[in-house]
A and B are shown apart, each in its own frame.
Chain A
Amino acid sequence: KNQVEQSPQSLIILEGKNCTLQCNYTVSPFSNLRWYKQDTGRGPVSLTIMTFSENTKSNGRYTATLDADTKQSSLHITASQLSDSASYICVVSPNRDDKIIFGKGTRLHILP
């Protein structure tokens, strides 16, 4: 069964600190993996997208990594800001199948 598991479920850190969110998937075959940011009451917004051949992708203070062998991805946030408070959702696309699979997300809280 194709699944996407994220950890931790929630995370609280102080403003300015770094953090790393994890995503493990069992989707096979695999086409690409995306990280989305979802602010409360809003729709998800794409942060990064990586194919199986890519190991890392950056978008400002967000850096995503992908290990296709172990089927793990991480999203690293550097120098966190209050506006980073949101849910971060890992999304995996099976090959030649447009029905993408969502993780449940990690809820990140940044404290001043």
Chain B
Amino acid sequence: DTGVSQDPRHKITKRGQNVTFRCDPISEHNRLYWYRQTLGQGPEFLTYFQNEAQLEKSRLLSDRFSAERPKGSFSTLEIQRTEQGDSAMYLCASSPSARDQETQYFGPGTRLLVL
């Protein structure tokens, strides 16, 4: 257990529905990241926050995706009008600061299946 938690761990939804995932980082960590991982691939960067500010969004993050970190603590990732191609593991990670030497600690992930 790295100290990063994600909820839910699994989500099955029908195409067109909206889903929301939550990530609780390690409490003193300023940076929070969202990644998407498909089978047999490494994680792909989606977006990251420095405290409550969303500093970067990947081109993978279409307008159906939105992420928030309103108080600089937990974060939510919402996918609207889900498509079958959204099926993947969604990973959250946190790190203590902006230094690039800091290790990112990953949560257990939320596995999404869109039917």
Give the interface of A toward B (CB within 8 A). Answer: 4, 31-32, 34, 36, 41-46, 49, 51, 89, 91, 93-100, 102-105, 107
Contact = CB atoms under 8 A, between A and B. Distances in A.
Contacts of B91: 43-44
Given A41-B109, A43-B2, A43-B4, A49 B103 contact: yes
A107 to B, nearest CB: 8
Interface in B28-69: 31, 40-45, 48, 56
B41 A104 contact: yes
Contact of A43 (B42, B98, B106): B106
B13 interface: no
A46 B26 CA distance: 15
B31 A44 contact: no
A93 B42 contact: no
B105 interface: yes
Contact of A96 (B89, B100, B107): B100
B103 A31 contact: no
A96 B108 CA distance: 27
Contacts of A41: 89, 108-109, 111
Contact of B103 (A34, A42, A105): A34
Contact of B2 (A45, A49, A104): A45
Contacts of B106: 36, 43-45
A103 B42 contact: yes
A4 to B, nearest CB: 8
B92 to A, nearest CB: 8
Nearest to B35: A102
Interface string B9-28: 00000000000000000000
A98 B48 contact: yes
A109 to B, nearest CB: 14
B42 A89 contact: yes
A99 B40 contact: no
Nearest to A107: B40
